[in-house]
């Protein structure tokens, strides 16, 4: 399953409408970005980035987007004032959200790092010194609306620690039914990260 975003659909989106200047500026590579994110294989990799790698969807495609195969996108980031490229980066975040929501995902409310910013010199483009991405600092995290197929390491670790603590107090490990009776659910094991992926670096 894949989803296609058009310029008109982007501008009808509540957030997308705020970036009309980006979408309607022929100097910006917006059409190229539409083509990039409309590709079904890239959309699959965006979902797999969350499911199998516990990373933001953008992490699954950002290296390709910033590669030499997409020179027009990179040249825009290299040659334009940081204030303008920030607008384009935020428009990319909207494109990612639109794709993920149509594919059955929702925001977790947290972000993960895609890179570490280099020291900025006035008049130069903002870029990263190290990390997965050269131009993007953060990526929004998402989760399936129907629930994730796998629990995170943090959730499993918290559950294991709870069970070990119970064992130390002489209680036998509870069965699944007992977890339900005691109102112990997955959300209880998301401390100190209420949403999966919060505070993680990618």
SS3 category, 21? helix
Residues 37 and 96: beta-carbon distance below 8 Å = yes
Cα 110 from Cα 54, distance rounded (Å) = 12
pLDDT given at position 155 = 86
**Is the domain of 21 the same as that of 87?**
yes
Residue 143 three-state SS = strand
pLDDT tens, residue by residue, 52-94 = 999 999 999 999 999 978 889 988 988 877 777 899 999 999 9
pLDDT attached to residue 173? 52
What domain range includes position 161?
A: 153-189
Indicate whether 37 belongs to any domain.
Answer: yes
User: Cα-flanking dihedrals φ and ψ of residue 97, to 5°?
Assistant: -60, -45
Q: Which residues contact 125 (CB under 8 A, 6 or more apart)?
A: 77, 78, 79, 80, 82, 85
Per-residue pLDDT tens digits for 2-59:
899 999 999 999 999 999 999 999 999 999 999 999 999 999 999 999 999 999 999 9
Whether 175 and 139 map to the same domain: the answer is: no
What contacts 117, CB < 8 A, 6 or more positions away? 126, 127, 128, 129, 137
83 and 164 inside one domain: no
* Contact yes or no for 91/22 (Cβ under 8 A): yes
Whether residues 140 and 115 share a domain: the answer is yes
Residue 197 belongs to a domain: no
Closest CA to 38 of 89, 65, 4: 4
Domain membership flag for residue 63: yes
**Residue 36 confidence (pLDDT):** 96
For residue 131, cis peptide bond before it (omega within 30 degrees of 0): no
Where does 28-80 show beta strands of DSSP type E? none
Q: Is 123 in the same domain as 169?
A: no
Closest by Cα among 76, 55, 57 to 66? 76
Q: How many domains does the chain have?
A: 2
Residue 197 pLDDT > 60, yes or no? no
128-176: pLDDT as tens digits: 999 999 999 999 999 999 999 988 888 889 889 988 888 888 755 555 4
Same domain, yes or no: 94 and 173: no
């Amino acid at each position: 399953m894949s989803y296609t975003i058009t310029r008109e659909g982007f501008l009808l989106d509540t957030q997308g409408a705020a970036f009309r200047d980006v979408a309607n500026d022929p100097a910006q590579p917006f059409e190229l970005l539409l083509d990039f994110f409309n590709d079904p294989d890239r959309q699959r990799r965006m979902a797999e980035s969350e499911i199998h790698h516990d990373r933001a969807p953008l992490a699954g495609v950002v290296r390709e987007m910033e590669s030499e195969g997409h020179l027009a996108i990179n040249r825009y980031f290299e040659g334009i004032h940081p204030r303008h490229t920030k607008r384009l980066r935020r428009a990319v975040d909207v494109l990612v959200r639109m794709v993920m929501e149509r594919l059955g995902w929702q925001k977790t409310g947290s972000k993960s790092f895609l890179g570490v910013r280099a020291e900025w010199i006035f008049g130069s483009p903002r870029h990263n010194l190290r990390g997965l991405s050269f131009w993007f600092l953060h990526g929004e995290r998402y989760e399936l609306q129907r629930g994730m197929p796998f629990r995170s390491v943090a959730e499993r670790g918290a559950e294991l620690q709870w069970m070990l603590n119970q064992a130390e107090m002489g209680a036998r490990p509870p069965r699944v039914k007992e977890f339900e009776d005691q109102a112990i659910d997955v959300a209880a094991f998301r401390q100190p990260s209420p949403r999966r992926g919060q505070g993680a670096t990618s």
